[in-house]
Amino acid sequence: MFAEILKVLGLFLFSGTKFMMAPGAILAAGYGWWESIIISFTGGSAGSIFFYKLGGRFFSFLEKIWPSKKKTRKQFTAKNRMIIRLKNKFGVVGLAFLIPLISIPVSALLSAKYFRFDKKAIPAYIIASAFWSVALTFFSEPVVAFIQNLIHEI
């Protein structure tokens, strides 16, 4: 019983950091479709909220230590323009839906940096976690089954 709780807790924590791999790992650990969706959704949501809140506190702390000085005219490069364009076009919702690609900690910290006071951030991460939990579980199941069949044949 205790080993099972530790196993689920480990998969929960894994979902909070390496979200793209989590549903496949949960399925490979012997859990079913619904368990995979529930564990990856709760882990992804909890990880998103944790890293978003942690990032918000971290950046507020940095601003207290090093307050911004008088703004000088920034030099715009092609890279800066692209970042600003993406930030303005997709916003916090776009960052939230990138969680499988750039990982939850990175995405949540970027959101905390640029969208710290946006009230849509946490709901966007919860909705994105729900969507990707279902989608990744759906696409991971045949791959995991194929790999398990290969292993059993060898």
Using alpha carbons, select from 63, 137, 126 the residue that is nearest to residue 99.
126
49-96 pLDDT per residue, tens = 999 999 999 999 998 998 877 666 777 788 778 777 877 888 999 989
What is residue 91's three-state secondary structure?
A: helix
Containing structural domain, residue 114: 2-67+75-153
What is the model's pTM? 0.85
Using alpha carbons, select from 51, 56, 29 the residue that is nearest to residue 107.
51
1-41 pLDDT per residue, tens = 899 999 999 999 999 999 999 999 999 999 999 999 999 99
Contacts of 116 (CB under 8 A, 6+ apart): 55, 56, 59, 60
| Total domains, the chain | 1
